[in-house]
Amino acid sequence: MSQDKEKNSLLRHFSINENKIALLYSAYSEKFPERASLWSGLAKDEKRHSALLLDLDERFKEEISSWRISNNAPAILDYIGNFIDDCLEKVSRPETNLKEAFSNALSLEQSMIEKKSFEIFSTANSEIVAVLEKLNRETEGHKQWLLKYAKEEKEEIE
């Protein structure tokens, strides 16, 4: 695969992962109606993230050849995608509980931050940089929301 095609493929892969996260959070919203507003809000954000990444892909196709990509970018996106797939497969199981949903979501959001998913592309284009920085800030915000709600859930159980 040529480097340009690989770069385009990675943007789409990234967008697909964001969309799969939205599907997971939507499934959690249905499974755990007592926290539906949290999960639905997160799912809405993830759908928007997916759309923003697709928009970048479409608007900057001509410029993509000048982007630098991290050597481990495909592995990062595959790791996250596989984790999401595993969570989606388990969500319908009766033993999947709210504590596990919070744990999975926190692991996922933390992984996106720690693995620097939003830094796999490097470009001088300030508009692209701004979008990727926004996605990173929002992912950090998701992590904080999840921590808050997980703490509240733990206190309700005790």
What pLDDT score does 42 carry?
97
The residues near 64 (Cβ < 8 Å, ≥ 6 apart) are 4, 7, 8, 11
CA angle centred on 25, ends 145 and 57, rounded to 5° = 95
Encoded tokens for 63 = 């410029």
Provide the 3-class DSSP secondary structure of residue 43.
helix
* 8 A C-beta contact, residue 4 and residue 64: yes
Encoded tokens for 32 = 């755990």
Residues of the domain holding 133: 3-157
Structurally, the chain folds into a number of domains equal to 1
Predicted confidence band of residue 16 (pLDDT cuts 50, 70, 90): very high
Report strand pairing: 68-69 vs 121-122: antiparallel
What is the rounded average pLDDT of the residues 141-151?
Answer: 90
| CA–CA dist 108, 80 (Å, integer) | 7
| Nearest partner of 153 among 101, 98, 107, 92, judged by Cα | 98
Buried b (16+ CB within 10 A) or exposed e, 33-61: eebeebbeebbebbbebbebbbebbeebe
What pLDDT score does 150 carry?
85
What pLDDT score does 9 carry?
72
CATH code for the domain of 106: 1.20.1260
pTM reported for the whole predicted model: 0.86
